[in-house]
Amino acid sequence: MNRTLLPWTTGALLLTSPLVLAQDGGTKAPVAATAAPTPAPAPAAVQQTWDYFYKGKGQGPVLVEAKLCLDVVREGPARFECTQPVPAEGVKANTQVVVWQSYLIPLGEDVQDLVIQVRQGNTVRETKDVKIKGEGWRARNWVTVRVGKAGDWTFHVMRGEKTFKTLSLKVN
C-alpha cells in the first residue's frame, strides 16, 4: 500500500500553530509511559525548520525516519505509526514487510519521484513508487512488500540516484 497521510501529528513545536491544531484535531502522538521527555530544540533549529517548511519549496523532501515494520496502525492514538517493528532476528520467507517512512516536505511541494527499491542480495526484486505532498509538518508513507525467498534483503529509500536510507533484513 502506498499512501501519503493526513492529518499530521502535533508536537511541542506545533502546539504554537492553531492551523496545525485544526488539521489534527489537537491530538498528540502517543508517548510511551517510561519515555523521558524530549528536550526542547534550540531556537535556531526551530527557525531553520520553519524556514524550510514555509520557504523551501523546490528543495525536495527530508527523510526524517524510515524503518521496517510488520504493522501500521490505521486507527486510534497511534494512527499511521509503525507499532510492530521487524524483529532483529528477521522474518520468515513470504512475510509481508512494511517500509514505513516519515518526511518533512516544504509547504505546497508535490514530490512524485521517490521510490523504494527492494533487493535480494544484488538482484532488484521490486521498485515501489512513493508520492508525497507538502501539506503539513509531517508526511508519513508506507509500502508493503512480500519477501518471498530466504536471504539478505535491502530496502533503499531513493530519489533519483540519491539514496536517503538503506534498511537491511534477514529472511529465513
Flag whether the pTM goes above 0.95: no
What is the structure's pLDDT at 32? Answer: 53
Structural domains for the chain: 14-30+38-171 (2.60.40.10)
The DSSP H or E segment spanning 100 is strand 95-104
Question: Is the pLDDT reported for residue 5 higher than 70?
Answer: no
| C-alpha span between 3 and 103 (Å, rounded) | 12
pLDDT tens-digit map of 95-148: 999 999 999 999 999 999 999 999 999 999 999 999 999 998 899 999 999 999
